Structure 1
Amino acid sequence: MRTIVNTIAGQGGTSVSGAVTKGSIIARIERLPANALQVRARLLIGAATFFDGFDVITIAATLPLLIQKWGLTPGQVGFLIASGSIGQLIGAFLFPSLAERFGRVRSIAWSSAIIGVTSIACGFAPTFAVFVALRIVQGLGLGGELPVAATYINEITRAHGRGRFVLLYEIVFPIGLLASNALGAWIVPRFGWQVMYLIGGAPLVLFFLLRKLVPESPRWLGERARMADADRALNAFEASVKGPLPALTNLAEYESMAHRHPKRRRLDVISPAYLKRTIAVALLWMTAGVIQYGLSTWLPTIYETVYRAPLQLALNLAVAASVLGVLGSLICALIVDKVGRKPVINVSFVLCAISLALAGVFHAQSVYVVATCCAFALGFMACGFITAYVYTPELYPTSIRAFGCGLGGAWLKVAAIFAPALVGKTLASGHLDTAFYLLAAVPMLAALAVHFLGIETKGKVLEQLEA
């Protein structure tokens, strides 16, 4: 084991030196002020997350033309939307498992490569069947990138200000949704649907950059007993800090945190210690899947077919909803460390439910009334859901953190598989109001689950939150 010599200010003010341990890794992370390497990691991994959001919602902007191109029925449209979610469901388990074994950064790089290659291939898909197959394969990367990226960003961040740091990174996902909708509204009517998928191939570049420019998670390296590698990763972060580093303090306390609980196995996410947390996480992520895929991806098509809005207007209204999603996410990032995770999630989801219920009440009004209700619903949903990316990793220990996040992502994908078909059936039967009411019930149920089953995590070291 490689040793380091650090001046450690203990409780008595004496100086000691020691080996790299799990406790010293935590202590060094907790003393890290904001630094250039953290910013670089947030930008590069943020780019992967941006294109995750971009590619996952590209189908919404291109769907009206795909329906015309292949003469798709409502059932085929529902299957097309859900097809990506099938791959994402597999990816939500596959890549977090790879991240636990091979590292967070490698897993993110691999998932980015799959996203990029398959997006480009989608632009050249000759038939509906080939397009669906490519969407399934692309889903592997889309489903795996987000939970692993959220895990990594949480693990390199100290407790103080972690919510704001993580969520300012996570805002790139709704920005990716917005960019996809905005570019789609401009590009698709002018240049065709294929161009959107060619742009979505950009994450392929990250496969070659991430491992060279971003250090591995020191917490994960410490968990794998790779102390020399953890030391090198920490040295890289510390070297990018401007000015002298604060002295290490309370090392004994951090050492106690690191060894307070045994190493967890994956099945422990459903053990008595974590079952309540896992139920809350499941309903939280399922809500995002139902609303994002059951509503957001359908909106341009609903506006065009039900309300007879021109394609350009339908796409523009979807862009407006994405703008509110970004604004809601930004507000959330600024208040989450002060208000707490649970209140942000609960209030946001209740307001989302109310907005969807109002869309059902006023479904017979003009497209602008319904679009306004849906835009607020998506804005509130984004505010609550983005909090899941800081909240979920906080609920599990390092040994199963990526897997716990992946499990949450898997519930999102399960919901995403069935929600589009539900909306498709209600559209075919002419009961759009029923769809809105059913959608409204989901975030209300999730808010209740988080309130009664979740724990508050703001301001605590990750190891303090282990059950």
Structure 2
Amino acid sequence: MRTFGNTIAAQGGASASGALTAGSIIARIERLPTNPMQVRARFLIGAATFFDGFDVITIATTLPLLIQKWGLTPGQIGFLIASGSIGQLIGAFLFPALAERFGRVRSIAWSSGIIGVTSIACGFAPTFAIFVALRIAQGLGLGGELPVAATYINEITRAHGRGRFVLLYEIVFPIGLLASNALGAWIVPRFGWEVMYIIGGVPLLLFFALRKIVPESPRWLASKDRMHDADHALKAFEATVKGSLPPLSATIEFDAMAHRHPKRRARDVFGAAYIKRTIAVALLWMTCGVIQYGLSTWLPTIYKTVYHSPLQLALNLAVAASLLGVVGSVICALIVDRVGRKPVINVAFVLCAVSLALAGVFHNESVYVVATCCAFAIGFMSCGFITAYVYTPELYPTSIRAFGCGVAGAWLKLAAILAPAMVGKTLVGGHLDTALYLLAIVPMLAAIAVHLLGVETKGRVLEQLEV
């Protein structure tokens, strides 16, 4: 394939099975074992997702110094935290729409370029107003990268072991959060807040590299009736498989599966066929937005202003919370294909709600008690959050999968806009316990919605899940 710069050899009946059809493309994906090209794609797309997480939470580690630098009021602080989410809300619709029209890989590359350029510019922002404007612009890329990346990784993976494969990729997002908190705890007190945003500019490199070394989604190409392009992209994966591929099987069944339903349009996400799934997804992603932005981004500031902790201690406690988020994500990746998507989400969110309620009950205790409860809440939330990235793309057909994931991301961003202001308002009134109780209600409602309205997707081919 000309964009990869290497020779692609067909293997084991890759194109010897007769006419190219959507069913034959699906069948070839479903026989693919994990291979070096998938790993390469997971690594490079994962790099974009890593810095998505890194840049999203950078505001938390730099916020205490930004408050001092510009003398920000509580209202300005809430707006600053939410500003990135305003751009992310737009990006959550824009880039999935571009992905449906121009391809998954191009969309991820474009969003990565925006993330990188605007992050570097943030490091040189001379005023609060310019900084906020840059955060909004950066949000376009941050909001668009995650849903499209999750869509792509799901589409290149077979049903068997898909949850583990996707979640091992998605772990890079909480690792990005952890890295941002950990580096911020060391860098910000020593070198200033600007350095964090310069580091966050690395995704700019992916803009130039990604399209040259990662194949487009064969599933997406097939859905556009570009069968020869789908065949060419799929050969890039097949050529890296060690040993011979097994003969194709069940191609007729996959063809029937692919054409069982008409191609869906964007409005079908809210239509009768998918509305229950969309409601469950909305509450699932809103929970992630509320906890991630309404709690995580505020934690260093809460520890410093409410409990009068030194800046270094406040940042270190936030790092501990991020570490539990990574641990929770790893555990989730190991069990999700055995236990199923719905049980993991439901149990994780219920335990998250309990942890937040306990933080509210013991809010008058030491900072370490509250920090422990909040850290467990974030750890449990991360289990549900990371599962959302494998679960949501499974709920929609290829023709609207990226858009469905974008809508899900939009709910997250909408929550991210509102939640920081809610927490800030309660903090001004000295009611930290009220904020924690309100936060606890959200994951409990999401657990109920996923249990009642969601469908289990474990071990099923993506096309089997269409309705």
Tell me if both proteins adopt one fold, taking TM over 0.5 as the criterion: yes
Matched letter for residue 176 of structure 2: G
Matched letter for residue 113 of structure 2: A
Matched letter for residue 462 of structure 1: L
Please tell me whether the aligned partners of residues 223 and 399 of structure 1 are also in contact (alpha carbons under 8 angstroms).
Answer: yes
Please tell me whether the aligned partners of residues 5 and 18 of structure 1 are also in contact (alpha carbons under 8 angstroms).
Answer: no
1:85-164 → structure 2 map (5 Å cutoff): 85-164=85-164
Please tell me whether the aligned partners of residues 20 and 227 of structure 2 are also in contact (alpha carbons under 8 angstroms).
Answer: yes
1:425-436 → structure 2 map (5 Å cutoff): 425-436=425-436
Q: Counterparts of 2:236 and 2:300 in 1: how far apart (Å)?
A: 46
State the partner residue of 1:258.
Answer: 258
Comparing 151-160 with 225-234, greater Cα deviation is found at 225-234
Please tell me whether the aligned partners of residues 8 and 249 of structure 1 are also in contact (alpha carbons under 8 angstroms).
Answer: no
1:352-367 → structure 2 map (5 Å cutoff): 352-367=352-367
Matched letter for residue 395 of structure 1: L
1:197-276 → structure 2 map (5 Å cutoff): 197-276=197-276
Q: Counterparts of 2:230 and 2:287 in 1: how far apart (Å)?
A: 37
Percentage of matched positions with identical amino acids: 84
Q: Counterparts of 1:97 and 1:220 in 2: how far apart (Å)?
A: 13
Q: Report the alpha carbon displacement of residue 5 of structure 1 after superposing the two structures with TM.
A: 9.8
Q: Counterparts of 2:95 and 2:153 in 1: how far apart (Å)?
A: 16
1:410 matched to 2:406? The reply is no
Please tell me whether the aligned partners of residues 12 and 246 of structure 2 are also in contact (alpha carbons under 8 angstroms).
Answer: no
Compared CA separation, residues 396 and 362, structure 1 to 2 (3 A): same
Give CA deviations for 1:263-282 in whole Å, capped at 9, x if unaligned: 00000011111000000000
Matched letter for residue 463 of structure 2: E
State the partner residue of 1:315.
Answer: 315
1:398 matched to 2:373? The reply is no
1:324-403 → structure 2 map (5 Å cutoff): 324-403=324-403
Gap runs ≥5 in structure 2? 1-8
Q: Report the alpha carbon displacement of residue 17 of structure 1 after superposing the two structures with TM.
A: 3.5
Q: Report the alpha carbon displacement of residue 18 of structure 1 after superposing the two structures with TM.
A: 1.5
Give CA deviations for 1:144-177 in whole Å, capped at 9, x if unaligned: 0000000000000000000000000000000000
Q: Report the alpha carbon displacement of residue 105 of structure 1 after superposing the two structures with TM.
A: 0.1
State the partner residue of 2:5.
Answer: none
Name the TM-score, length of structure 1 as normaliser: 0.97
Comparing 387-396 with 220-229, greater Cα deviation is found at 220-229
Q: Counterparts of 2:265 and 2:232 in 1: how far apart (Å)?
A: 27
Please tell me whether the aligned partners of residues 11 and 244 of structure 2 are also in contact (alpha carbons under 8 angstroms).
Answer: no
Please tell me whether the aligned partners of residues 361 and 433 of structure 1 are also in contact (alpha carbons under 8 angstroms).
Answer: yes
Q: Report the alpha carbon displacement of residue 19 of structure 1 after superposing the two structures with TM.
A: 1.1
State the partner residue of 1:80.
Answer: 80
Measured on the aligned residues, the alpha-carbon RMSD in Å equals 1.3
State the partner residue of 2:456.
Answer: 456
SS of equivalent residue, structure 1 residue 27: helix
State the partner residue of 2:166.
Answer: 166
State the partner residue of 1:193.
Answer: 193
Q: Report the alpha carbon displacement of residue 246 of structure 1 after superposing the two structures with TM.
A: 1.0
Q: Counterparts of 1:49 and 1:173 in 2: how far apart (Å)?
A: 6
Q: Report the alpha carbon displacement of residue 16 of structure 1 after superposing the two structures with TM.
A: 8.0
State the partner residue of 1:12.
Answer: none
Name the TM-score, length of structure 2 as normaliser: 0.97
Gap runs ≥5 in structure 1? 10-14
Q: Counterparts of 2:213 and 2:112 in 1: how far apart (Å)?
A: 15
Q: Counterparts of 2:413 and 2:273 in 1: how far apart (Å)?
A: 25
Please tell me whether the aligned partners of residues 276 and 453 of structure 1 are also in contact (alpha carbons under 8 angstroms).
Answer: yes
Please tell me whether the aligned partners of residues 52 and 146 of structure 1 are also in contact (alpha carbons under 8 angstroms).
Answer: yes
Please tell me whether the aligned partners of residues 11 and 239 of structure 2 are also in contact (alpha carbons under 8 angstroms).
Answer: no
Q: Counterparts of 2:226 and 2:251 in 1: how far apart (Å)?
A: 20
Please tell me whether the aligned partners of residues 17 and 248 of structure 2 are also in contact (alpha carbons under 8 angstroms).
Answer: no
Give CA deviations for 1:417-446 in whole Å, capped at 9, x if unaligned: 000000000000001000000000000000
Please tell me whether the aligned partners of residues 6 and 16 of structure 1 are also in contact (alpha carbons under 8 angstroms).
Answer: no
Q: Counterparts of 2:85 and 2:432 in 1: how far apart (Å)?
A: 23
Please tell me whether the aligned partners of residues 41 and 214 of structure 2 are also in contact (alpha carbons under 8 angstroms).
Answer: yes
State the partner residue of 1:304.
Answer: 304
SS of equivalent residue, structure 2 residue 427: helix
Please tell me whether the aligned partners of residues 181 and 315 of structure 2 are also in contact (alpha carbons under 8 angstroms).
Answer: yes
SS of equivalent residue, structure 1 residue 460: coil
SS of equivalent residue, structure 2 residue 420: helix
Give CA deviations for 1:294-334 in whole Å, capped at 9, x if unaligned: 00000000000000000000000000000000000000000
Please tell me whether the aligned partners of residues 325 and 379 of structure 2 are also in contact (alpha carbons under 8 angstroms).
Answer: yes
Which runs of at least 4 in structure 1 moved beyond 3 Å after TM superposition?
4-9
State the partner residue of 2:4.
Answer: none
Compared CA separation, residues 429 and 274, structure 1 to 2 (3 A): same
Matched letter for residue 228 of structure 2: A
Number of corresponding residues: 459
Comparing 243-252 with 91-100, greater Cα deviation is found at 243-252
Compared CA separation, residues 369 and 23, structure 1 to 2 (3 A): same
SS of equivalent residue, structure 2 residue 295: helix
Q: Counterparts of 2:208 and 2:228 in 1: how far apart (Å)?
A: 24
